[in-house]
């Protein structure tokens, strides 16, 4: 079977999987999600992904009886059924299917959807050249640390970035504070020091971000978690993004302006190599 879905206890192909039109995820965006991947069939960083998932569930006060072990077992079965070397796993949990009301429904079971597809990584040529990104006003809500399925600002910013020939959008506050990309966290390198915005309600605490921060500390790469501005980013020696679907990806152009020489830099390449040794 090429791709696998699991909906509330039932495995099927993705094409055959259905949820109710009354699902609150569809009606109201009332749900959260998580994204993880496999390397050679093995789930990567499953514990931190599960911790973030349960944190998201708590943050939106979604009542449930899920356990990390139970969810992991279903994910593993779905991954095994799909049988890809490198799988992309999406897990969505919504507040269930019910008559449309804004307040929480009573005694309605949550909807659990898991999909497993073959992971499409950025092609080697893209990684070697680096990518362009485009700044976008950060019009998102005040809880970007929750991995909610309400992604309309990310959708619009990503579309505008793609239409402008860019790989990703970069969310920036009105005062020039850089937050993160639409699907990844952001890092700069200036005078040999790596910097990334600190954890806050304005960014998602990326699992890859945490891994890269830890790798930098472990390998003696100077690393700061602090406010980063767009001006600083444009003047940086290197810029890169991190995420489950991009690993450590060099950014060589921002708003049509090349970063330094417009080529992937040595610190980015070193961190990507260290990340691959850890994950692969």
Task: Cite the active site residues.
Answer: 147
Q: Are 168 and 161 in contact (CB under 8 A)?
A: yes
Interaction with ligand PDD in 55-94: which residues (CB under 6 A)? Answer: none
User: What is each CA distance from 2 to 80, 81, 116, 158, in whole angstroms?
Assistant: 11, 9, 9, 27
Q: How far is the CB of 206 from ligand PDD (least distance, A)?
A: 3
Q: Are 206 and 178 in contact (CB under 8 A)?
A: no
Nearer to ligand PDD, 170 or 221 (CB): 170
Q: Characterize the bridge pairing of strands 178-181 and 111-118.
A: unpaired
Nearer to ligand PDD, 183 or 268 (CB): 183
Q: Record the tokens describing residue 7, joined without a space.
A: 């909906």
What's 232's DSSP letter?
H
> What is the x/- site pattern for ligand PDD, positions 220-259, by CB under 6 A?
----------------------xxxx--------------
Nearer to ligand PDD, 23 or 180 (CB): 180
Interaction with ligand PDD in 151-210: which residues (CB under 6 A)? Answer: 180, 183-185, 204, 206-209
Other Cβ atoms closer than 10 A to 162: 13
Element (H, E) at 212: helix 207-218
Nearer to ligand PDD, 87 or 242 (CB): 242
Q: How far is the CB of 24 from ligand PDD (least distance, A)?
A: 19
Contact footprint for ligand PDD (CB under 6 A): 35, 180, 183-185, 204, 206-209, 242-245
């Amino acid at each position: 079977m090429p791709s696998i879905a699991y909906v509330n206890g039932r495995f099927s192909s993705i094409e055959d999987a259905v949820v109710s039109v009354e699902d609150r995820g569809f009606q109201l965006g009332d749900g959260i999600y998580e994204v993880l991947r496999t390397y050679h069939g093995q789930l990567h960083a499953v514990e931190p992904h599960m911790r973030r998932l349960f944190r998201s569930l708590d943050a939106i006060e979604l009542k449930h009886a899920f356990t990390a072990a139970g969810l992991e077992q279903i994910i593993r079965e779905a991954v095994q059924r799909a049988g890809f070397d490198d799988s992309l796993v999406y897990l969505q949990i919504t507040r269930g299917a019910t008559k449309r009301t804004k307040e929480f429904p009573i005694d309605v079971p949550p909807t659990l959807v898991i999909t497993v597809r073959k992971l499409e990584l950025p092609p080697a040529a893209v990684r070697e050249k680096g990518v362009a990104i485009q700044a976008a006003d950060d019009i998102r809500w005040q809880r970007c640390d929750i991995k909610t399925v309400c992604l309309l600002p990310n959708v619009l910013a990503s579309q505008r970035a793609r239409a402008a020939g860019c790989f990703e959008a970069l969310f920036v506050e009105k005062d020039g504070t850089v937050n993160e990309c639409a699907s990844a966290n952001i890092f700069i390198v200036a005078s040999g020091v790596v910097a990334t915005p600190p954890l806050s309600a304005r960014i998602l605490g990326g699992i890859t971000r945490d891994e890269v921060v830890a790798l930098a500390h472990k390998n003696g790469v100077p690393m700061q978690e602090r406010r980063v501005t767009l001006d600083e980013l444009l003047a940086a020696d290197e810029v890169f993004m991190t995420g489950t679907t991009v690993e450590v990806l060099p950014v060589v152009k921002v708003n049509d302006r090349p970063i330094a020489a417009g080529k992937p830099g040595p610190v980015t390449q070193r961190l990507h190599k260290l990340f691959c040794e850890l994950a692969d």
